[in-house]
A = this chain, B = another copy of it.
């Protein structure tokens, strides 16, 4: 069935069912948290048969894992501004807008909370961040090639350093970070990287912490 570009995701009925179910699951997580997620309720909200939801996702944790996989698939490509600081600012801006968005911010808090007590959700969350970091790491690697940062800089560590203060602010104070915090996060990660803080030793890269 033809549709206007952007109005439905490609892939036919199966993909549309998935999109509707994941949208409903995200809504419940953002509104009420992981403890209130229920497959029958999600099916009702998504206007999809309960049997379909049970057969396809099996459990609440299976549904959250698929939601995180979808979020990773849908996550935006990195911005290429021509400088490391510009790229890190673009990344910080994206993280900040995500966490400050009422639905998205609540969704991340709910999923991170669920990961604290559910191993499958924790694994899906790790994979989500692996995808995000792999997407943005080249901006640091290219900066090293251009001579903006010292060689041996751990690109993943720099990308994580941009996100860390923004997540920390949201998770410990409950207040989403603003644009000034995003700018500061990017400048702090760049200054530390330029000072060689993220240079890893020969042959013994530090653990991904």
Contact = CB atoms under 8 A, between A and B. Distances in A.
A162 B195 CA distance: 16
A165 B171 contact: no
Given A192-B187, A197-B187, A112 B171 contact: yes
A192 B125 CA distance: 29
Main SS class of interface, A: helix
A177 B209 contact: yes
A181 B209 contact: yes
A23 interface: no
A116 B115 CA distance: 12
A33 B121 CA distance: 15
Contact of A116 (B112, B157, B184): B112
A207 B178 contact: yes
Contacts of A206: 180-181, 184
Contacts of A177: 209
A208 B157 CA distance: 24
Contact of A171 (B33, B167, B194): B167
Interface residues of A, number: 48
Interface in A28-72: 32-33, 35
A168 B164 contact: yes
Interface string A67-88: 0000000000000000000000
A209 B181 CA distance: 6
Interface of A: 32-33, 35, 109-110, 112-117, 122, 125-126, 129, 157, 160-161, 163-165, 167-169, 171-175, 177-178, 180-181, 184, 187-189, 191-192, 194-195, 197-198, 205-209
A160 B165 contact: yes
12 contacts: A112-B113, A113-B114, A157-B184, A164-B167, A164-B168, A173-B208, A173-B209, A175-B209, A181-B209, A191-B195, A192-B192, A195-B195
A186 to B, nearest CB: 9
